[in-house]
Amino acid sequence: MIDATAVYVLWLREMKRFLRAKSRVIGSLAMPLFFLAFLGLGFNKMIVPEMLKDINYIRFLIPGIVGMGILFTSTFAGLSVLWDKEFGFLKEIMVAPVSRVSIVIGRIAGGATTALIQGLLILFISFIAGFKIKGILSFPLTILFMILISTTFIGLGLILASKMKDIHGFGIIMNFIIFPLFFLSGALYPIENLPKIIRYLSYIDPLTYGVDGLRASLIGISSFPFIMDLIIMIGFSIITVVLGAYFFEKSESA
């Protein structure tokens, strides 16, 4: 049974950690904004094959950069599990009279909220720079895809964190996973431009459908039907969260 108080307390803890660590906020925004500034300004006047002529490169790039920010923040949410293991906080939580499911949901809720905030910050900065969305319904649909991307990759982070014990090793493994997922997703270029064999790898990358859904919501273009992006992202988020909860509970009961 889910304990709402436990979920709220763990969510609130993540919020306080996030708000107090200003360097963490700035650091998580630095790389996406770096990509946006240098790639966007550098390639804005270039003609990108398979891209609509009325969509410039910066407009095409911004949804991918938002997805990138959420990806990095969400996957490294698993790092907090290892920190809590290291300092004994996790053991104190596990002996509390609350269900493991409540603990997992609280962690996912906290991680998803911080990822959503950072995605919105990137989007807000883009608005200041002149980015325009296609319509009034764009914003709620964008929020939905941000949440689905964050829960998907928080679940992935929990799976890996539950199987590992070394904090430094987690960072190395996550970078090894994150960058291929990012570059295969079509965040920087249309996946139609990729060689056929690489494109097939893009089709099994959850971020591909997340970025495509963001792009459909924000600027009205996509490689796949919008409903297809939505259904696939819901499926990926459910699978990774369930597996993350399973491996988390299994690792703590072992």
Q: What is the DSSP letter of 189?
A: S
Answer whether 165's CB lies under 8 Å from 82's CB: yes
Q: Is 79 exposed, middle or buried (0-12, 13-18, 19+ CB in 10 A)?
A: middle
In whole angstroms, what separates CA 246 from the centre of its chain?
20
Q: Any idea what the Cα angle at residue 68 is, between residues 53 and 10, rounded to 5°? A: 145
Structure tokens at 235: 């499926």
Single pTM value for the model:
0.87
Q: Provide the pLDDT for residue 149.
A: 94
In sequence order, what are the residues at sequence separation of 6 or more whose Cβ sits closer than 8 angstroms to the Cβ of residue 159?
Answer: 78, 240, 243, 244, 247
Mean pLDDT rounded to a whole number for the chain: 81
Helices of type H across the chain: 4-20, 22-43, 57-75, 78-87, 89-94, 100-128, 138-163, 167-184, 196-202, 206-219, 226-253
Q: Provide the pLDDT for residue 201.
A: 92
Structure tokens at 234: 């819901």
Average pLDDT on 205-228 reads 92
Range with lowest mean pLDDT among 41-50, 181-190, 220-229: 41-50
Confidence of residue 24 (pLDDT cuts 50, 70, 90): low
Average pLDDT on 36-46 reads 68
Range with lowest mean pLDDT among 18-22, 40-44, 134-138, 164-168: 40-44
Q: Any idea what the Cα angle at residue 173 is, between residues 30 and 170, rounded to 5°? A: 85
Percent of the chain with pLDDT over 70: 82
Examine the pLDDT at 48 and tell me if it is beyond 80: no
Confidence of residue 252 (pLDDT cuts 50, 70, 90): low
Range with lowest mean pLDDT among 47-51, 90-94, 206-210, 240-244: 47-51
